[in-house]
Amino acid sequence: MLVCPVRNCHKSLARQEKSLVCPAGHSFDVSRSGYINLLQPQDRRSKHPGDTPAAVEARQRLHDRGVTRPLLDGIADMLAPASLVPTSKDVVLDAGCGDGFYLGNLAQRFGFDAHGIDISAPAIRAGAKRYPPKSGNFEWVIANADRFIPYADASFSLVLSVTARMNSAEFRRVLGPNGRLLVAVASPLDFKELRVANASQRSSDPDAESDEAGRDRVPRTIETFARDFQIIDQRRVTTTAELDADTVRDVLLSIYRPLRSQPIEPMRLTFSLDLLLFAPVSFVPALFKPAT
């Protein structure tokens, strides 16, 4: 399913021992842990794009503490209708997969063939370490999904985008005609306590930047995908957790959003996602009515 990422090539890649090679002779190594780096020089804006090792490690600690488990369960429940439950026959892409927490857990739960793509090398390494490609149904790829998703047309039955960038045209290209797209965006409730804390600090800091969190991202997200997709279901999943200071610090590391005051203190924090399920405009399951 993988295709050559070299500009104007995009021929199928074939595995040869520890590399992938296209008919034009372009070759890409498979790492010792099994992930594949297909990121092209023109598709990066810095030497180390995407999540930093510190952010990846902080996010993994949050997952390991169970803080994000209710969000994972909410995403799984979104696929609960009988016509949408993924099976071992499904092939799923997570575009902007990060450390692979959502894709990896959903794959273990439903048994589908899982493919994760992210521009961050530390994130992909973390995904490959926790969900090894050698286990049989995982593939991890470093690439810039904002530019080009290095997979053949109609490769997937489900595409996930969990608080990640959105590329409607590419999502539609790699999604099969009867497939679906599940997009998760931060809801206005997400991290609301952090906004309150930052607002109190800004009140005495006239030079502080405005806080853009708390927006309703649903209308703009629906508009982003309107040409290629139609929304068929929408819901919100919200959870709160009592966090110690170290866990609050991990939250801040994972979202690159430091508090201006010190020290960091324990707090109750809200995690919330708006979940949007789409179908290609040519295929809208009769089971759902379009959301209004």
Question: Which candidate, 167, 159, 39, places its Cα nearest to that of 94?
Answer: 159
Query: Among all chains, which residue has been given the structure tokens 């649903």?
Result: 218
As a whole number, the mean pLDDT across the chain is 89
CA distance 135 to 145: 25
Confidence category of residue 288, pLDDT binned at 50, 70, 90: very low
In terms of Cβ atoms closer than 10 Å to its own Cβ (0-12, 13-18, 19+), residue 222 is middle
User: For 32-69, how does the pLDDT look when each residue is reduced to its tens digit (9 = 90+)?
Assistant: 999 999 999 877 777 788 899 999 999 999 999 999 99
Backbone angles phi, psi at 117, to 5 degrees: -130, 135
**All domains in the chain, ordered by first residue:** 1-30 (no CATH), 33-205+216-280 (3.40.50.150)
Could you give the percent of the chain with pLDDT greater than 70?
Answer: 88
**Span 129-138, mean pLDDT?**
88
- Residue 9, pLDDT > 80, answer yes
Query: Among all chains, which residue has been given the structure tokens 């959903």?
Result: 106
- Strands (E) in the chain, as ranges, are 14-16, 19-21, 27-29, 36-37, 91-95, 113-118, 138-142, 156-162, 175-186, 229-243, 267-280
pLDDT of residue 44: 76
pTM of the model: 0.89
Question: Which candidate, 75, 79, 140, 78, places its Cα nearest to that of 114?
Answer: 140
CA distance 67 to 60: 10
Instruction: Give the type of residue at 268.
Output: R
CB 50 within 8 A of CB 254: no
- Residue 128, pLDDT > 90, answer yes
User: For 178-237, how does the pLDDT look when each residue is reduced to its tens digit (9 = 90+)?
Assistant: 999 999 999 999 999 998 876 555 544 444 444 445 789 999 999 999 999 999 999 999
